[in-house]
Amino acid sequence: MQVTPSARVLVVDDDGAVLVSLALLLKQSGFEPLRAASAAEALALLAREPVDLVLQDMNFSLQTGGEEGLALLAQLRERHPALPVLLMTAWGSIGLAVAGIKAGAANFFTKPWDNAQLIELVRATLALSSPASGPSRRAMDEQFDFSGIVGEHPKLLRVLATIGQVARTRAPVMILGESGTGKELVADAIHRNSPRAAQAIVKINMGAITSTLFESELFGHVRGAFTDARSDRKGHVASAEGGTLFLDEIGELNRGDQVKLLRVLQDGRYQPVGASRSEQADVRVVSATNRELAELVAGGEFREDLFYRLNLITIRLPPLRERRSDIPLLARHIVGKVAASYGLGEVSLTSQALDWLSSQSWPGNIRQLKQTLERTLLLVDKAQLTQADFIAAGQLDEAGGGARLGVDGMTLEQVERHMIEQALAQHTGNISRVAKTLGLSRTALYRRLERHGLGEIGTNEEGA
């Protein structure tokens, strides 16, 4: 999606130097800048002139609590609900930024800012705020490769438009969304539509890497660096050279390892374990999490400086319940793929079955929908699936392996596997919640998943 070069951007700040600096940057980038030194001046200007985007400071006096900024944001949301607002926050005020996002701001950036990154943020925000009557799914498919991402709901189309807008840049992207919404597919689409598509996209489950192996896994090691280092080993960063590094479950990274990752993002250099010199990294970083990272920062669980490095562009994936009109499309697509993978021939769904599927809540999102379709297809074994088939398959599943099944006659190994399977089903594959439910560390849970042959189930965090 293209942003109109002459888009009008209003900068609101009581600091004259900031107003002049941002106005010059915006003008040099092809935008038409407008300036206001106070909230009252900004509201008066907006009442008489059309504006496409607001860059707003959070304080307009000696106060530093942000109340003035939040008050202006509330007035903007009331008087101009469709107008996107980017907040300017001082370093260390992430809690204030979180409050602003919850109050309706599109995003935020910090002072001092990086000129190139800020302009990318402005362009992406303007692209996201374009009317819902923007390019159709067919028009975007003609311009970009979104294969594997099924749907045409307006919320999904806005996500696809953002992917198309930012893919060609090297700006870091943060993908947020509930488990099973398809965050990995979005990362694939960003890479596939970027100038780096010819190189590899290297995917890392950050929650699955133990702290003791973190540097070796990410940066590699040389022979003799430690006891088991019998040969040189290339790390994930080197494997992604010239391509994309996808950091899945970034919210699970402990603070000690966050520092090591931050160093690479800050200066683009890393040092293999045991090596005498550092290497230059040329990678585009895309990260994902089903946790609210800004809230983790506000709570002290995630480094604020690393957060700023990762989330220049934020893409939020809507849960399946917010795009119900896409469920029939998804269901047909999934059934076709599953049937083909099992050699079952062509399988269809009745209109009543599609209506029933569309009415369900799907807390596990696309992954849960896929599991339901696959289970019903295998248990019923029919060329056309009805609503009754899905209900019957659900009852069969409960009778054959539900939570009410006892453990009489089962070995200790079988009981352990059974409990892990039930926890995985209950929490739709969310590793953090499964580990907490079972009273295990994430590392201990991964070892058990591997021992019981459940590794693929447990580590497949995203939906189809």
Q: Of 70-74, 133-137, 162-166, which gets the smallest average pLDDT?
A: 133-137
Helix (H) or strand (E) holding 306: helix 304-310
- Residue 36 pLDDT: 95
- Looking at residue 321, its amino acid is R
β-sheet with 85-90: strand ranges across: 32-36, 8-12, 53-57, 85-90, 107-111
- CATH code of 438's domain: 1.10.10
| Number of CB atoms found within 10 A of residue 156's CB | 21
Instruction: Give the confidence band of 134 by pLDDT, cuts at 50, 70, 90.
Output: low
Radius of gyration of the chain (CA): 25
What is the pTM (predicted TM-score) of this model? Answer: 0.70
Asked whether residue 164 is assigned to any structural domain, the reply reads yes
Domain, as residue range, for 44 = 8-119
Q: Are residues 88 and 199 in the same domain?
A: no
- Residue 248 pLDDT: 94
Asked whether residue 448 is assigned to any structural domain, the reply reads yes
pLDDT tops 60 at residue 92: no
- Residue 91 pLDDT: 61
CA–CA separation, 11 and 30 (whole Å): 15
Asked whether residue 220 is assigned to any structural domain, the reply reads yes
| Number of CB atoms found within 10 A of residue 37's CB | 17
Q: Are residues 238 and 287 in the same domain?
A: yes
Residue ending a domain, among 283, 318, 353, is 318
Q: Are residues 300 and 325 in the same domain?
A: no
pLDDT tops 70 at residue 99: yes
CA–CA separation, 163 and 159 (whole Å): 6
Q: For the chain, what's the residue count?
A: 464
Cα–Cα distances in angstroms (integers) from residue 15 to residues 20, 94, 130, 282, in the given order: 9, 21, 30, 37
Q: Are residues 160 and 207 in the same domain?
A: yes
Q: Are residues 74 and 179 in the same domain?
A: no
Q: Are residues 53 and 81 in the same domain?
A: yes
Residue ending a domain, among 401, 431, 446, is 401
pLDDT digits (tens, 9 = 90+) for 354-371: 999 999 989 889 999 999
pLDDT digits (tens, 9 = 90+) for 19-48: 999 999 999 999 999 999 999 999 999 999
Nearest CA among 407, 342, 409 for reference residue 376: 342
Q: What contacts 24+ positions apart, CB below 8 Å, involve 336-343?
A: 338/370, 338/373, 338/374, 338/377, 339/377, 342/377, 342/378
Asked whether residue 306 is assigned to any structural domain, the reply reads yes
pLDDT digits (tens, 9 = 90+) for 176-193: 999 999 999 999 999 999
Residue range 303-325: average pLDDT? 90
Q: Are residues 43 and 147 in the same domain?
A: no
Both tokens assigned to 63: 């106060």
pLDDT digits (tens, 9 = 90+) for 238-260: 999 999 999 999 999 988 899 99
Instruction: Give the confidence band of 152 by pLDDT, cuts at 50, 70, 90.
Output: very high
- CATH code of 377's domain: 1.10.8.60
- CATH code of 298's domain: 3.40.50.300
- Residue 464 pLDDT: 36
pLDDT digits (tens, 9 = 90+) for 255-283: 889 999 998 888 888 888 877 788 888 99
- CATH code of 12's domain: 3.40.50.2300
Residue ending a domain, among 119, 153, 188, is 119
Nearest CA among 390, 395, 385, 383 for reference residue 359: 390
Asked whether residue 2 is assigned to any structural domain, the reply reads no
Q: Are residues 142 and 291 in the same domain?
A: yes
Cis status of the peptide bond prior to 50, with omega within 30 of 0: no
Asked whether residue 171 is assigned to any structural domain, the reply reads yes
| Number of CB atoms found within 10 A of residue 87's CB | 26
Cα dihedral 18→24→30→31 (10° resolution): 40
144 φ, ψ (degrees, to nearest 5): -130, 165
Q: Are residues 300 and 361 in the same domain?
A: no
Average pLDDT of every residue of the chain: 85
Q: Are residues 82 and 141 in the same domain?
A: no
Asked whether residue 50 is assigned to any structural domain, the reply reads yes
Q: Are residues 301 and 347 in the same domain?
A: no
Q: Of 40-54, 182-196, 306-320, 444-458, which gets the smallest average pLDDT?
A: 444-458
- Number of domains composing the chain: 4
Q: Are residues 100 and 162 in the same domain?
A: no
